[in-house]
Amino acid sequence: MWCWVVDYLYVPDGSSAMKQADLRELVCGIVREFTAHPGGETRYRSPIIGFCSADHEKFTRLQENVPEHLTPWELLPGARGLVSYFLPFSEDIVGANARSSLVAREWAVAYVETNRVLSEIGKSLIKVLAEQGIRAVSEAPTYEFDKAQLKARWSHKSIACMTGTGSFGLNSLVITDAGCAGRFGSLIIDVDPGVAASPDSERCLYHHNGTCGLCVQRCPVGALKMDGPFDRKLCYEHLVQADAYFADLPLTDVCGKCAVGLPCSLTNPVGR
């Protein structure tokens, strides 16, 4: 996924310079540290981190489908790079939700705690990069979406695809080489990380060869279709109802059945 070039990047004020590879390793180190010591009940497998230039042709196609989606330059004038990070849940969390008839408490806790971890990662990256003279911004991991259309103004999943971290599956989730059971964050920076956009790599068995489709079978409300569009409204209504299961937890509008008990839950089934 990463092209480890050794070109130098120069920060906007010209006060210092660092190798692009060093920038990427700095970012990776911070994400790995947070996932290794998350400070809660949730445990993660090794994170996946991707980079690419902000000058990405996919933004044009994305805005054709989602006109309200922001560009990197609207969030950060002078944006030149994108960073995506995926925090894959541990196998026991995934297994618990696969076995549960409703939503497993482990999955609900993981959702709440991972939102916090992703926010902390974004704040830490912005602070550390600022010390290197690099400007950066990050969007909240969730709840920044249009309540009528149920579409985000900044899609962390779409950024993951742009950086080559994963590809969209039939379940409308992004499947990475560590599967789809986890959560994404992203960062916009004002320097080029020195990695060309990765070519599209299919990771969904259904899109690859027409097989599988287990996520459609596992959806408890029929929001997923084999040959039709994802019913966002039906899915969201179910998520809101699921929030009532855990009155002691904040904002647990979760389900995750389309991310567990599947060949793509923990790995990339196409590349396996």
pLDDT at 14: 41
Q: pLDDT tens for residues 198-230?
A: 777 899 999 999 999 999 999 999 999 998 899
Q: 184 lies in a domain?
A: yes
Amino acid type, 263: P
Residues 228-243 pLDDT 10s: 899 999 999 999 888 8
The model's pLDDT over 28-58, given as tens digits with 9 standing for 90+, comes to 999 999 999 999 999 999 999 999 999 877 7
Confidence band (pLDDT; 50, 70, 90) for 251? confident
Q: Which domain holds residue 187?
A: 16-259
* DSSP letter, residue 145: E
- Position 167 in a domain: yes
Q: Can you tell me the distance from the alpha carbon of 63 to that of 66, in angstroms, rounded to the nearest whole number?
A: 5
Indicate the pLDDT class of residue 93, thresholds 50, 70 and 90.
very high
Identity of the amino acid at 149: Q
At residue 145, the pLDDT reads 62
Q: Which residue has better confidence, 17 or 114?
A: 114
Give a yes or no: residue 192 inside a domain: yes
> Looking at the domain assignment, is residue 216 inside a domain?
yes
Q: Which residues does 101 contact at the CB level (< 8 Å), separation at least 6?
A: none
Are 45 and 88 spatial neighbours (Cβ–Cβ below 8 Å)? Answer: yes
pLDDT category, 264, cuts 50, 70, 90? very high
Residue 161 lies in a domain: yes
Rg for the chain, CA atoms, rounded: 18
| Count of structural domains, the chain | 1
Name residues whose C-beta falls within 8 Å of residue 141's C-beta, 6 or more positions apart in sequence.
Answer: 114, 115, 118, 119, 156, 183, 184, 185
Task: Report if residue 52 sits inside a domain.
Answer: yes
Alpha helices by DSSP H, the chain:
20-36, 58-65, 72-75, 91-99, 105-131, 156-162, 205-209, 214-218, 232-242
- Tens of pLDDT, residue by residue over 126-174, are 999 999 999 999 999 876 666 666 677 899 999 999 999 999 999 999 9
> Residue 10 pLDDT more than 80?
no
User: Does residue 250 belong to any structural domain of this protein?
Assistant: yes
What's residue 146's pLDDT? Answer: 61
Kindly state whether residue 3 falls inside one of the protein's structural domains: no
Position 249 scores a pLDDT of: 86
pLDDT 10s digits, 100-124: 999 999 999 999 999 999 999 999 9
